[in-house]
Amino acid sequence: MVSVVNDSCIKCRTCVSVCPVDAFHEAEAQMVIDPDTCIACGVCISECPVSAISSEDEADAATVAFNAEQAKVCPNAND
């Protein structure tokens, strides 16, 4: 089960530095996770200071869709 970021994200970038596969992309107002890259390790979930990251089964459908859509069009956060 991949992880997703919700709109509580404050773009602190902590998650970007801990993800082993560079799955984070930078959207205009928040980070998002590419579901095709995330390996569901779960490391980022506990690192987020505002609890903006969860497993996709604990997020609403709009958040899951937003992550997938924005990850395709927004730059990788490690670039």
CB nearer to ligand SF4: give 11 or 61.
Answer: 11
Please pick, from the candidates 1, 7, 10, 29, the single residue that binds ligand SF4 as defined by CB under 6 A. Answer: 10
- Residue pair 30/52 in contact by the 8 Å Cβ criterion: yes
In sequence order, what E strands does 1-79 have?
3-5, 24-26, 31-33, 53-55
Binding mask 13-52 for ligand SF4 (x = CB under 6 A): xxx--xx-x-x-------x-x----xxxxxxx--xx-x-x
Q: How far is residue 30's CA from residue 12's CA, in Å, rounded to a whole number?
A: 9
Binding site for ligand SF4 (CB under 6 A): 3, 5, 9-15, 18-19, 21, 23, 31, 33, 38-44, 47-48, 50, 52-53
